[in-house]
Amino acid sequence: MMKILVSDPIHTEGIEILRKAGYEVHENFDLSKDQLKNIIKDYDAIIIRSKTKMTKEIIEAGINLKVIGRAGVGLDNVDKEFAETKGIKVINTPDVSTTSVAELVMGYIISIARHIPQATESLKKGEFEKEKFSGIELAGKTIGIIGTGRIGTAVAKRAKCFEMNVIGYDPYVKYSDTIKMVDFETLLKESDVITVHVPLTDITRHMISNDEIKKMKKGVILVNAARGGIIDEEAVKKGLEDETIGGIALDVFESEKPFRSVLTAYDNFVGTPHTGAQTEEAQKRAGIEVAKKVLEQLNKMKR
């Protein structure tokens, strides 16, 4: 019987689909690198989220591995190129979290514009400081979307409902039906809000750093719910201190495990622990879709 290792938690409906199809499924979370390296040889497929790192070393040890299934979008924790040279199919579920991430991004922008987390904290202390929490409207402001794929486009649609002007830049895409595309410099100079929706690559790492922040409007709101490292946290720290940046919202960090960020100490920081796709709906879609796609691949290989 073919065996599937699920090394990061996925929705129970996904597990049921795999078991009903007659596969032996082992859920084994929080494995150390060495533990995973020792057991991976026993499995035909592995299902992961962002925590398990499918490095060359682990893939090499997976002598029976046929499929790596990533429940989620980002493949930065999988050495896809190497896996494919070994004949291992790598699949992900790129559409499942679009709505959840886009909704979180809008929540961030409104939270910063209206100081919702800070005002909540203040109320909890028994204070009632109306003037201190004066905010700004989003209507008429410009949002610059870096990365105009699925999630960037979903954010654009929602921002338009808030009557924002939407502009976009994408290092790989020059045309969009929904977003007015501009060059990177224009986006940096004209945006009141900048949100990034690109994968982390050698090109996008620190694509927002000191030089880019210097070009931005004073008081700009920055959002990163894509991948830690696209926005340089040290550069943001400087931007908050010299007040170029009016607010920073991060769902993803340069160091998540262990978690460290120089930005949490600042008043105008808002954050969540990588919960962009962490909704009941997105998790259910991811679990079901990854299970179906892994089965499809394993079934093809049985023939």
Assess whether 16 carries a catalytic annotation.
no
Quote the least distance from Cβ 219 to ligand MLT, whole Å: 28
Quote the least distance from Cβ 276 to ligand MLT, whole Å: 6
Assess whether 158 carries a catalytic annotation.
no
Residue 74, amino acid: G
Exactly one of 70, 115, 227, 285 is catalytic; which is it? 227
The three-class DSSP label of residue 48 is: strand
Exactly one of 27, 60, 103, 256 is catalytic; which is it? 256
**Which residues in this chain contact ligand MLT in the complex, by CB under 6 A?**
49-50, 72-74, 97, 276-277
Number of other residues whose CB lies within 10 A of the CB of residue 143: 28
DSSP 208-242: BSHHHHHHSPTTEEEEE-S-TTSB-HHHHHHHHHT
Quote the least distance from Cβ 182 to ligand MLT, whole Å: 27
Exactly one of 197, 274, 285, 289 is catalytic; which is it? 274
d(CA 270, CA 127): 20
Cis geometry, peptide bond prior to residue 258 (ω within 30 degrees of 0): yes
d(CA 249, CA 42): 42
Quote the least distance from Cβ 117 to ligand MLT, whole Å: 22
Q: Which of 189, 263, 257, 259 is nearest to 224 (CA)?
A: 263
Assess whether 206 carries a catalytic annotation.
no
Q: Tokens standing for 138?
A: 């989003």
What are the residues facing 195 on neighbouring strands?
145, 223
The residue nearest ligand MLT at its CB is 72
Residues involved in catalysis: 227, 256, 274
